[in-house]
Chain A
Amino acid sequence: MKSLLITRTQKVAGLLIGLLVFLAGIVCSVVFGVADISWHTIVQSYMHFDGSQDQLIIRTTRMPRALIAALAGASLAVAGTLMQGITRNQLASPSLFGINAGAAFFIVAGTAFFDAGSLSAYATLAFAGAAFTALLVYLLGSIGSDGLTPLKVTLAGAAMTAFFSSISLGILLTGGQTFDQVLYWFVGSVAGRDMGIFNSAAPYMGVGLIGAWVLARHMNLLGLGEDVATGLGQKTMIIKLAAGISIVLLAGGSVSIAGPIAFVGIIIPHVTRYLVGIDYRWVIPYCAILGGILLLGADIGSRFIAFPKEVPVGVMTAIIGVPFFVYIARKGVRA
């Protein structure tokens, strides 16, 4: 496959430009909104905090929101690329394979039935849900002699998504008061969260991101096919398991801070492969940065599309994602 950036210099340059756009995205996310805030105030609020309203908005609302969008976007994209690698299915992603819906269901059920309200409980529930669903969909998709076919695993994922979303909605609808608040989260939103939520999940997601990067070399081997990888002395089961743990940390963490956001995990890995090819040592960092940029951009856009009301960012990614999805599905999926 031909990629856009070929030489090492080009790839490094691309990565640096991406990193700049990423940082600019965070700044823009803090600056733009219902109350426009100057760039100077941002610096002031961290250097000389004086408790004024603008500075408070930055520290308690805008900055957590920007960081959550950046981290969730990066994590979903990397989780998507790992999933596409180990299932050898170009449509694999946390949302399509039901992992997001499963993690969300565990949070909704845990909150409703076991009164699990603390931030750490949210994260734990999300990880448990993500792990459970990932395993379930993987097993379901690989039932039978023809193994893990794209059609079977995709249908299994869609069925699990329908199952978990229906039951989550059922619980929410009968739950009462907090409906409005939970609803935004349920569609995927990064608004109205504080630093505590970010801090509760960020360490795990950081481990997931680093783990993915460490795995990159092994993922390259796995990409040559299971037989070749085994022949070259790779313990494919261990690599898949390690990748699975990374996926669970990344997708589960994203759901716990931002809700089940669709399509980021599909779009970004494809864009990345187009840019830098199939070497995971480049793919993983590019995915992280581009995923962050996409979600930051979608979140900034979501503030203006129905101004002054905000659209949940999950809706924005869905709208952006469909043309991509159609393109990929039409191009043909390896059977």
Chain B
Amino acid sequence: MNDWLIFRGRKHSFQINRRTLIVVLLLIAANLAAMIICTGLGSLNISPIEVIRTLFGTGDASNHMIIFSLRLPRVVIAIMVGAALAVSGALLQGIVRNPLTSPDVIGISGGASLGTIVFILYFSELSIRFMPLWSIGGAFAAAILVYLFAYRGGITPLRLVLIGIGMATALTAVTYMLILTASFTPTAVAVKAFTFMTGSIYGVSWKRDVLTLLPWFSILLPVSIIYARHLNVQELGDEVATSVGSSLQAKRTILLFVSVALAGSAVAIGGAINFIGLMAPHIARKLVGPAYGGVIPVSALIGSLILLLSDLVARIAFLPLDIPAGVFTAAIGAPFFIYLLYRHRRS
């Protein structure tokens, strides 16, 4: 049996790894199942069948309200934020060539948080549409700073990671300072800001959050899938990549841009959710091998699955309290990280 399925059109042809295709289909199915379960469970439980009926417009009216205006936007946001963080992490790991990096470890999420908090505290009279711009701006500022500080006749992964960690610590402190010293912060605003910093997708709405994130997501994700193959070349090392004719720096800049923008826009809506950018690409590589053509879409699906399930646990484990989902991604992410350290001990 051939490992590759080949599709030929009149002008273009492409091939898909059979195994990747199966994994992608299975993950889509798992995501759909998780969506339906997440939509059903909560302070009022709705059976999966009833959820499906409601989604197709034949359920009863009260369920319709709960599902469409409360639960579904949250589920959709979880999918987009999880996927964006996962893809951002996968791109970053390819660019830096270090399997232990992710947007939250090296300060990009911290920069995005800072940008968002500045927006929330000082520019909240502007339309929420501008929020991703602030987050992405913060993410870029942080990324550029980390890059410049780490640049010394080149970038080494060690220096980049160390400086990133230092920047992440400092950015968190500055963000805390802004929240605590803002001239008008009542406790409610502070709680909101801190919930945001832990990473939460509580209380999202179609109009405000989904429509804000959707344009970024639907542009950046396809771009990253299209550009993924350049990462395969880059993984071989700078010299090989240049000698086989890859315009290394230009492509790397584009990929870095996409990665930072994905993380920034995800943080704008979901807050600084930790560890997804680290975990998802590893699980993806485990499932479909190291070629980025497969890793990117599979990472996206795994990222959304992780956040869907984390948010589900966060919502229902301590009813009636709603815990930030970031707490649970940290709870599963840290042991996973330990496993990664353990597994990379030989390399």
| Chain A residues proximal to chain B, CB less than 8 Å | 91, 95-96, 140-141, 143-146, 150-152, 154-156, 158-163, 166-167, 169-170, 172-174, 179-180, 183-184, 187, 262-263, 306, 309-312, 314-315, 318-319, 321-322, 325-326, 329-330, 333, 335
Does B2 sit at the interface, judged by CB under 8 A? no
- A selection of 15 A-B contacts at a CB cut-off of 8 Å is A151-B157, A166-B274, A170-B198, A170-B326, A173-B194, A179-B191, A312-B180, A314-B173, A315-B174, A315-B176, A318-B170, A318-B172, A325-B166, A329-B159, A330-B159
B174 touches A318 (CB 8 A): yes
- Write out, one digit per residue, whether chain B residues 65-105 have a CB within 8 A of any chain A CB (1) or not (0): 00000000000000000000000000000000000100011
Give the A-B pair count, Cβ closer than 8 A: 158
What is the CA–CA distance of A174 and B344 in the complex, to the nearest angstrom? 37
The secondary-structure label for the interface of chain B is helix
A158 and chain B: residue at smallest CB distance: B165
B345 at the interface (CB under 8 A from A): yes
Contact of A95 among B169, B190, B342 (CB under 8 A): B169
Q: Are A160 and B334 in contact (CB under 8 A)?
A: yes
- Asked if B15 CB lies within 8 Å of chain A CBs, one says no
Task: List the one stretch of B34-42, B258-266, B317-325 in contact with chain A.
Answer: B317-325
B247 → chain A, closest Cβ, in Å? Answer: 28
* Docked-complex contact A180 and B334, CB < 8 angstroms: no
Assembly CA distance A44 to B188 (angstroms):
43
CB contact under 8 A between A174 and B318, given known A152-B341, A162-B275:
yes
CB-CB under 8 A from A158, the residues of chain B are 105, 165, 168
A151 touches B330 (CB 8 A): no
Q: Which residues B294-347 have CB closer than 8 A to chain A? A: 318, 321, 323-324, 326-327, 329-331, 333-334, 337-338, 341-342, 344-346
Apart from A311-B177, A315-B174, A319-B174, list 10 A-B contacts with CB within 8 A: A143-B345, A158-B105, A158-B168, A159-B333, A166-B274, A166-B331, A179-B187, A325-B170, A326-B166, A330-B163
Query: Does B162 reach chain A (CB closer than 8 Å)?
Result: yes
B186-214 CB mask vs A (1 if < 8 Å, else 0) is 01001100110111000000000000000
Q: Which 4 A-B pairs have CB atoms at the shortest separation, nearest pair first? A: A144-B345, A318-B173, A170-B327, A166-B330
CA distance A174 to B200 in the complex (A): 13
A312 x B176 contact (CB < 8 A): yes
Which residue from chain A places its CB closest to the CB of B173 in the assembled complex?
A: A318
Given contacts A170-B323, A326-B166, contact A162 B149 (CB under 8 A): no
For residues 109 through 168 of chain B, which have their beta carbon under 8 Å from a beta carbon of chain A?
149-150, 152, 157-159, 161-163, 165-168
Most chain A beta carbons < 10 A, residue from B104, B169, B190, B333: B169
Instruction: Contacts A154-B161, A183-B194, A312-B177 given; indicate if A166 touches B345 (C-beta within 8 A).
Output: no
- Complex Cα distance, B72 from A150, in Å, reads 45
Chain B residues with Cβ below 8 Å from A146 are 345
Q: How large is the interface on B (under 10, 10 to 19, 20 to 34, 35 or more residues)?
A: 35 or more
A154, B168: Cα distance in complex, Å: 13
Q: Which residues of B contact A152 (CB under 8 A)?
A: 341
Task: State whether the Cβ of B243 lies closer than 8 Å to any Cβ in chain A.
Answer: no
B183 at the A interface (CB under 8 A): yes
A96-B169, A156-B341 given; A169·B198 CB < 8 A: yes
**Complex contact B327–A329 (CB within 8 A):** no
B181 interface hit (Cβ, 8 Å) = yes
What is the chain B residue whose CB lies nearest that of A151?
B158
**What residues of B have a CB within 8 angstroms of the CB of A325 in the complex?**
163, 166, 170
The reply to whether B345 and A174 contact each other, CB–CB distance below 8 Å, is no
Q: A155-B341, A162-B275 known; A187 and B173 CB under 8 Å?
A: yes
User: Are B327 and A154 in contact (CB-based, < 8 A)?
Assistant: no
**Chain A residues positioned under 8 Å from B329 (CB to CB):** 166
A335's nearest neighbour on chain B, judged by CB, is B158
B81, chain A: closest CB distance, angstroms: 16
The verdict on A311 contacting B180 (CB below 8 Å), with A170-B324, A319-B174, A329-B159 known, is yes
Complex CA–CA separation, A314 to B177 (angstroms) = 9
List of A residues within 8 angstroms of B334 by Cβ? 159-160, 162-163
Q: Return chain A residues, CB-CB under 8 Å to B333.
A: 159, 162-163
Query: Which of B158, B324, B344 contacts A169, CB < 8 Å?
Result: B324
Please report the C-alpha to C-alpha distance between residue A164 and residue B342 in the assembled complex, in whole angstroms.
20
Query: CB within 8 A of A180: which of B159, B187, B327?
Result: B187
Q: Give residues 236-275 of B contacting A (CB, 8 Å).
A: 274-275
Task: Report the bound CA distance from A281 to B284 in whole Å.
Answer: 52
Q: With A162-B104, A170-B198 as given contacts, are A151 and B187 in contact (CB-CB < 8 Å)? A: no
Instruction: Quote the shortest CB–CB distance from A328 to chain B (angstroms).
Output: 9
Tell whether, in the assembled complex, residue A155 and residue B100 are in contact, meaning their CB atoms are under 8 Å apart.
yes
Q: Please determine whether A330 and B346 come into contact, CB atoms closer than 8 angstroms.
A: no
A179 contact set on B, CB distance < 8 A: 187, 190-191
How far apart sit A13 and B106, CA to CA, in the bound complex (Å)? 42
